[in-house]
Amino acid sequence: MTSPQRVVCISPVIMAHAAHVREHPYSHLIDTLKDGNVQFFNPQKLNDPRYGKLPLSIRVLLEAAIRKCDGFYVKEEDVQNILDWQEQQNVTEVPFPPSRVLLQDFTGIPAMVDLAAMRDALVKHGVDPGLVNPVCPTDLIVDHSLQVDFSKCAIQNTPNPGGGENQSQGAPRSTPASTSTPPAPGSAPRHQPRGWVGSHCGSQRGSCSKVSCSDPPGRRPPAVQQIENTPLLCPFHLQPVSEPEMAVKSQEMELIRNKERLQFFKWCSKAFQNVNVVPPDVGAVHQVNLEQLCRVVHVSDGLVYPDSVVGTDSHTTMINGLGVLGWGVGGIEAEAVMLGQPVALTLPQVVGCKLEGSINPLTTSIDVVLGITKHLRQASIAGKFVEFFGPGVSQLSVPDRTTIANMCPEYSATVSFFPVDRVTLKHFNKTNFSQEKLELLESYMKAVNLFRSYEESEEDPLYSEVIEIQLGSFIPHVSGPKRAQDRVAVSNMKLDFHSCLKEKVGFKGFHVPKESLDMQVPFHHAGQEYQLAHGSLVIAAVISCTNNCNPSVMLAAGLLAKKAVEAGLNVKPYIRTSLAPGTGMVTQYLSTSGVLPYLSQLGFEVIGYGCATCVGNITPLAEGVVDAIKQGNLVACGVLSGNRHFEGRLFDCVCANYLASPPLVVAYAIAGTVDIDFEKEPLGVTPEGKEVFLRDVWPSREEVQQMEEDTVVSSIFQELRSRMEKGNSMWSNLECPESVVFPWDHKSTYIRSPSFFHKLSKEVQPPRSIEHAYALLFLGNQVTTDHISPAGSIARVSSAAKYLLSKRLTPREFNSYGARRGNDAVMTRGTFASIKLQNRFIGKSGPKTLHVPSGQTLDVFEAAERYQREGIPLIILAGKDYGSGSSRDWVAKGPSLLGVRAIIAESFEKLHKSQLLGMGILPLRFLPGQTADSLGLSGKEKFSISLPESLELRHALTVQTSEGKSFGVTALFDSEMDLIYYRHGGLLRYVARTMI
């Protein structure tokens, strides 16, 4: 599927204020690139020395303000304030018009439903509904509707019953393991016994797990391809399903369950201009954003400018790793940007994170990312921009950068920005960027001084503060021997292990008697004699799940294996080695890069896809190994790159287990022990007697990064491009309306036309005073968006459940609030439906409130519905920080549809205050020092608030109660746009009315 052509739409606000339009105030900054075909606004032509000292992330804000300066949304004083960032940071609010909006389907569907309903409103007033389109280019990725209806066979992951390699652990109990008729050609092979997962040189219990070329053909191990195609089970019927069929069946279930939503999305892709819908089964929103939607620079109507984005997905910040400024916003904010309104933000402080020094050769990308995250978490940078600079940045690959940028929520920064440099350009050379686009990107970024050469310190901007991080301080660690939190530096591993042997039995100690510390026990395996001692390795598992899914560490393991094999090293045959990739993609890039055969040669063969070693699903150790461990009471070891390693979990006689990165797992497997100092002791000795140290075979970061770009990045982009171009056949065959306005199905429980535009007049009506209102809720402090906006599953006793039951749905068909965000009837009933809501009318947590006139306790929705039938307006009383927490699209829409006209609180979360005004709800703040309690309010009074026709910024108002009390409040109008939105009854009604 190819992206539709972007259409330039005129903001309805600019249309409404056409009388104020004049020549662009910064037209003198327009410049032309060398070829003469592309123009751009060049801030350097301001000839202001302050520009060259601005952080590059602030330069992006400045360019957007210059380009979008219309005298209404963006004013010349905003441009000057951004240019004066050093003095205005953390003080002045400025507008930011991003280049595009990113939506995922849960948060995207309410926005698109609102636009569809707005078209209906225009039809009623005799206006062309085709005028309603997003002003800002919008990408909507359908990635949140797939559920796991079919998955890998659960029997595959059952614990080993200890019956030896010849006992079947995968076959159903009714099928004896001895009856092994070969599968029919083309059919999925039966489950092999757990002992056969991998290759074996013998059929006896305890035989080694290495390939033996001397095996006769009839006794050679099953091919890896058979393991990869092990049957899958439908979880409901326990019938085998092949892997390709599993994907098809899951997609079919997704289509059946979400057909109404998907049909609506497809209609949106055809009906709206400036909307690109990425269908299901293409990829997750953040991955598609990184791999397909990212532009770095936009070209529109002969004008080039930086790419920037706001998105409704929490992973939007990943894009900052590519030099694209972007962060996550709530659904209402995204909807406002779609309709032409810039994001309002206080000029942020920018923390410069200076990376210096060289990364330790043994340090992996995971060590670096987690190390930087730890430093930033301790730096108190909440709400600030972080911008990386310094010579160390060049050592980070693009995947490293995007991972660090994705960790923003971990250290509470708004963005972690990596300006474009040569590493970024090299990355884009492996993606979907043409050479022409790369040349344009580089020349433009250099022309506007947005390109960084981190080695040139004179280019360093001025920052609010600078945090210096020495990359050399990040050293490789392992965790163990019993708990993940007990980290041990690899350089200190030998000393720490000896200490553990001597300590009393506990979290780290084994209390081995002094006379037994040097114990060595000989044993025979496969015709050869070996010796085990304390620290001997008997289990080594490379696993690429959760904390080790970064491609760089898996490639590093493969490259280390390659170098070790070429140096003549091997792994002792009694060590239980395995390779469990998280997905087939890992196997694919290990194979494509050419390192998989070397891993196999060391015994790390693909055993399948699923949890294995971490959960104790491991082939029993050889009898000789077990006997030697027991005979000498040895502290034998296991090393794995998973996330679980408790004592005895891998195998009951293996006491010490360590979590390590994949390359270190391979290294310890070759050494055969954890009792080694890699710096001073050789990893192994070649048949010629040459000592080989770990440093001799450890791959450099440059080697790993080059292989990552050449194999992983290229293959990912080729695969994504193929899926985008090929499209989804089910999506292609999905029927959808062809009309300009959406034909609402009144029986639908997923898609419904909301009532935001009901009774929409052509003329703006004067503000309506609030007369004799009751309090729907009487709340305390710290009421969060989690308390207000519905999310997650739909409780069976909730108002939303009652509604769905009335539509003849069973609880199994309820789905979730996320999936039903396009139905205002469900979402309104879910507003204030949190079981943790503390309503002072009730005295205990729960989604209940008091219907004051009758004295009855009802669900919040039922009480609001009764008030509306009686024609009674509603307010809410609250304490401090009302609306704190992450933003959600229904956090203001829900209260609006419940009939709430105003909220009186001690303080509001700033973003939520704007959301309330965007839905026509009046945010009122108690005067300093006053609270509901200090004023003696019970919440059961009637409240009246007189509103003058002419409202002003921070307007002082008076509230009268039926008990004869009166008190002052402040209406939180902070800008002219706040006043405009409130007068019109909210953003949506304002935009519709300007079009009418």
- Which pLDDT tens digit goes with each residue over 290-320? 878 888 999 988 899 999 999 988 789 999 9
Among 211-225, 347-361, 680-694, the least confident range: 211-225
* Summary mean pLDDT of the chain: 83
pLDDT greater than 80 at residue 976: yes
Residue where the block lists tokens 């024609």: 871
Q: How many residues does the chain have?
A: 996
CA dist 931 and 778 (Å) reads 12
Confidence of residue 154 (pLDDT cuts 50, 70, 90): very low
Residues 6+ apart with CB under 8 A from 254: 145, 146, 147, 280
Residues 252, 730 contacting (CB under 8 angstroms) = yes
Residue 162, SS3 per DSSP: coil
- Which pLDDT tens digit goes with each residue over 618-663? 567 889 999 999 999 999 999 988 765 445 445 578 889 898 889 9
Task: Look up the pTM and report it.
Answer: 0.77
Q: What is the pLDDT of residue 586?
A: 79
CA dist 356 and 360 (Å) reads 12
CA dist 950 and 970 (Å) reads 15
Residues 605, 599 contacting (CB under 8 angstroms) = yes
Of residues 971, 927, 920, 963, the one with CA closest to residue 945: 971
CA dist 89 and 152 (Å) reads 53
- Which pLDDT tens digit goes with each residue over 53-93? 999 999 999 999 999 999 988 999 999 999 999 999 999 98
Q: What is the pLDDT of residue 513?
A: 93
Residue 900 has, within 13 A of its CA and on its CB side, a CA count of 30
Q: What is the pLDDT of residue 246?
A: 47
Task: Give the pair of three-digit tokens for residue 599.
Answer: 């891993």
Q: What is the pLDDT of residue 485?
A: 75
Residue 30 has, within 13 A of its CA and on its CB side, a CA count of 14
Residues 537, 634 contacting (CB under 8 angstroms) = no
CA dist 707 and 779 (Å) reads 57
Task: Give the pair of three-digit tokens for residue 435.
Answer: 């050479």
Q: What is the pLDDT of residue 996?
A: 84
Query: Residue 113, Cα to own-chain centre: how many angstroms?
Result: 24
DSSP-assigned beta bridge partners for residue 523: 530
Among 136-140, 588-592, 967-971, the least confident range: 588-592
pLDDT greater than 80 at residue 471: yes
Better-scored residue on pLDDT, 434 or 88: 88
Residues 408, 369 contacting (CB under 8 angstroms) = no
Long-range contacts of 930-935 (CB under 8 A, 24+ apart): 930/967, 930/968, 931/879, 931/906, 932/778, 932/877, 932/879, 932/904, 935/965, 935/967
CA dist 903 and 875 (Å) reads 5
Q: What is the pLDDT of residue 247?
A: 52
